[in-house]
Amino acid sequence: MIVGIDLGTTNSAVAVWRDGKSILIPNSIGDMLTPSAVSMSDKGEVLVGMAARERQATHPHLTATAFKRYMGTQQTVKLGGETFSAEDLSALVLRALKADAEAWLGETVESAVITVPAYFNDRQRKATRRAGEMAGLKVERLLNEPTAAALAHGIHEKEDKQPFLVFDLGGGTFDVSIVEIFEGIIEVRASAGDNRLGGEDFNDILIDLVRARFPALAGDASDSRLREIMRAAAERTRRALTGVEAAPFSFVWNGEAYETEVTGAAFEEAGAALIARLRDPVLRSLRDSGIVSDSLSEVILVGGSTRMPVVRRAVTRMFGRFPGTGIDPDHAVALGAAVQAGLRARDAALDEIRLTDVCPFTLGVDTTEFDRNGRMHHGMFSPIIERNTVIPASRVHPFSTIQDNQRAVQFGIYQGEARNVAANVKLGEVSVPVPPRPAGTVRIDCRFSYDASGLLEVDVTVPETGITRQLVICDEGAPDEKDLAARREALAALKVHPREDAANAALLARASRCYESFLGERREHIGQLILAFETVIERQEPREIERARRDIEERLNALEGERFL
């Protein structure tokens, strides 16, 4: 069975293609979305999802969230003595989703289509694929998130559709894609984005805005526990601002209650710089596809952060019209991933549908150029696959030697849009020996092949000698097969909190967080609730536990408002 997985910065989701449509799979506590959070319990067990998210504010040193932002980097976090990379943490989330899907489907899940931001670079993509493999999934395809959303949206379109724009602002990344449907071919015309812009950045500016109002907190500015407590409060305020003009921002720190009010206008003003960053990718995707926005048939909003009124207003100003509201911004990507899974499995219902995507980056090598004055400039970027080329693609570019009797030619492989390779992302290096000849007389062919998952292969050939070399990844972070096997074992050896108990763990974690964020009588009340619930759990009466859970949930809702994902 192939499932489709949306591995998000804030939340993840899993869906499956069945009986001619995409269906979201609920997790062990009945939610369609699973928070992308991992926490170590006090007993040294791994918690994933809601329980882990709730522990972010109470146990910041044992909890990791938003790790997708560090995908493909060397950065690690320590949780209770164990060291994890973003890849490991993602693998734990994927493993939990796999277990949820297997429990719901009643069959084993061997493989998955996993979505990535369109603007994820080669390193981030490879890291995502490795995370899938460590979770015991064969990664059939890495699918771009806006493309997945377009697929979920376009699958019901029987008619041809004029180009539409997918505006995907998630928890940590921003993508824009322009998509067209013609004769059942869903074709991405152009993608652009910013892989460091999302809802988390809006939380940060909200925290900074509020912090300035409490000079007393200046001394604790770098305290990670305060940061997480304020982040949780910011998330709640930001969501409340979706519906009202002004919302309270309240938290408890060192036994003292802090409360203030944030207006939508103040938030919008503080976020102006972030809002301005939304414009460039939109302009670029339109320019690259040669489409004017007036001829777009629709603007589709995807990603939870597009619920923010500030973002909706910015979109309305940019396009001079209101964006479409046809699809659920939180579910579209997972649903689209399931469509792709159906396509991979050659489902008969999808016989007349095909999807083509583009590579949103320019890929090339470093070369030496001579300017008008005959000066040599090293490290100039020479593109081989231009951005927004339809993939899979394969291009060859001939180069020649620059020195007499040169013995070898070395290519640095880069991805990016800058003339100078130093400002681009280096993906690897490949070197090939050449016969000694006068400068400029030896030809070297450099071939780039870009597959449908957005992964690159490079080979370099000297036609005269027939010698060929393939790309050697210089990425120090990339582990070899042995490392991978060792890490897979290490992850498998971790004790995992039992799936059946996830709902109880999530509720207890939430109650503990509430305990810390209230004072006085209400705090005592919550303390009693926790004690009572723990006694009920010990009695192991499923029906009684269920009833107690619902009761406590209602009481907590009354105290702090509904739980959200």
The pair of three-digit structure tokens given for residue 214, joined into one six-digit string: 């409490």
CB of 294 to other proteins, least distance (A): 6
* Identity of the residue, 166 or 286, whose beta carbon is nearer to other proteins in the bound complex: 286
Q: Is 371 a catalytic residue?
A: no
Q: What is the helix (H) or strand (E) element at residue 123, kind and residue range?
A: helix 122-134
Q: Which of 145, 194, 330, 366 is catalytic?
A: 145
Burial of 244 (0-12, 13-18, 19+ CB in 10 A): exposed
* Identity of the residue, 185 or 492, whose beta carbon is nearer to other proteins in the bound complex: 185
268 touches 310 (CB < 8 A): yes
Q: Is 158 a catalytic residue?
A: no
CB of 375 to other proteins, least distance (A): 8
Q: Which of 31, 54, 68, 87 is catalytic?
A: 68
* Identity of the residue, 185 or 408, whose beta carbon is nearer to other proteins in the bound complex: 185
CB of 194 to other proteins, least distance (A): 14
455 touches 357 (CB < 8 A): no
* Identity of the residue, 292 or 493, whose beta carbon is nearer to other proteins in the bound complex: 292
Cα distance between residue 313 and residue 228, in whole Å? 29
Q: Is 459 a catalytic residue?
A: no
* Identity of the residue, 75 or 468, whose beta carbon is nearer to other proteins in the bound complex: 468
CB of 295 to other proteins, least distance (A): 9
84 touches 64 (CB < 8 A): yes
Cα distance between residue 52 and residue 60, in whole Å? 10
* Identity of the residue, 211 or 277, whose beta carbon is nearer to other proteins in the bound complex: 277
CB of 148 to other proteins, least distance (A): 17
Q: Is 538 a catalytic residue?
A: no
Residues of this chain that interact with other proteins (CB under 8 A) are: 182-185, 279, 282-283, 286-287, 292-294, 314, 317-320, 344, 351-352, 354, 356, 362, 373, 375, 381, 383, 387, 390, 392-394, 417-420, 423, 449, 451-452
* Identity of the residue, 417 or 464, whose beta carbon is nearer to other proteins in the bound complex: 417
CB of 275 to other proteins, least distance (A): 10
Buried b or exposed e, range 440-468, using 16+ CB within 10 angstroms: eebebebbbbbeebbebebbbbbeeeeee
* Identity of the residue, 279 or 547, whose beta carbon is nearer to other proteins in the bound complex: 279
548 touches 536 (CB < 8 A): yes
Measured between alpha carbons, how far is residue 244 from residues 60, 248, 313, 399 in Å? 30, 11, 15, 61
Tokens 């909003």, residue located? 301
The pair of three-digit structure tokens given for residue 43, joined into one six-digit string: 């007993």
CB of 329 to other proteins, least distance (A): 20
The SS3 of residue 206 is helix
Q: Report which of 416, 179, 410 is spatially closest to residue 302, judged by C-alpha positions.
A: 179
CB of 238 to other proteins, least distance (A): 23
Q: Report which of 248, 453, 216, 221 is spatially closest to residue 357, judged by C-alpha positions.
A: 453
Cα distance between residue 525 and residue 273, in whole Å? 43
Q: Which of 87, 88, 100, 168 is catalytic?
A: 168
Cα distance between residue 336 and residue 143, in whole Å? 9
Burial of 375 (0-12, 13-18, 19+ CB in 10 A): exposed
Catalytic residues: 6, 68, 145, 168
